[in-house]
Amino acid sequence: MLRSQGVHQSSLLDIITVDLVVLEAPNVVSRDADNLLSTLFGELVCASGPRRGKDAMVLLVSGGKEGGKWVIPGGGIEQNECAEEAARRELEEEAGVKARAVEVIGLFQDDDRKHRTTVFLMEVVEELSVWQEGEHGRRRIWLPLNVGAEVVKVAHRPILNAVLAR
């Protein structure tokens, strides 16, 4: 069961992964109005301009076996890397998005998988048209935060629900 904890001081050895919640898109529009219904199944949808609160957009990437699920971008912290650096690196690798960390949303603990995840709110600086994992079939999608919380894989829902509750 994934649960949220207040952010506290912890050694990097205690923090195994980072996830990113990206709630702002760059000032570009990539919305395919004819295929808006298909966005839940893999079309790229980007918000135009920064949005927060009820209008917040979240960036998800395809994941799971054969890319059949939507997940929050994230991954492990490499040696000699802090959590924020890992967050920026993972976001660029997995979603083709360059961003800066705005704040730490919280620390989430997954008792079943026995690890903790630091979750960052990120502000988009640039969205790349070609990126490392995109060349291998990974897809990205921008969705309204409340929709993202419904379609993201079950293990990631508490993270987006915590953002919705803010």
Q: What is the CATH number of the domain that holds 12?
A: 3.90.79.10
Q: Which residue has the tokens 């990974």?
A: 138
The residues that are catalytic are 93
Query: What's the pLDDT at 19?
Result: 56
Domain residues for the domain of 95 are: 2-164
Model-level pTM?
0.70
Burial of residue 98 (CB within 10 Å: 0-12, 13-18, 19+) is: middle
Choose among 127, 104, 118: nearest CA to 76: 118
Provide the residue-wise pLDDT of the chain in tens; the chain has 166 residues: 334 443 333 333 333 455 555 544 433 333 333 333 222 222 222 332 345 566 778 899 988 666 688 998 888 888 888 888 888 888 899 889 898 888 888 888 777 767 778 888 888 888 888 888 888 888 898 888 889 989 998 888 888 888 888 7
The count of domains in the chain is: 1
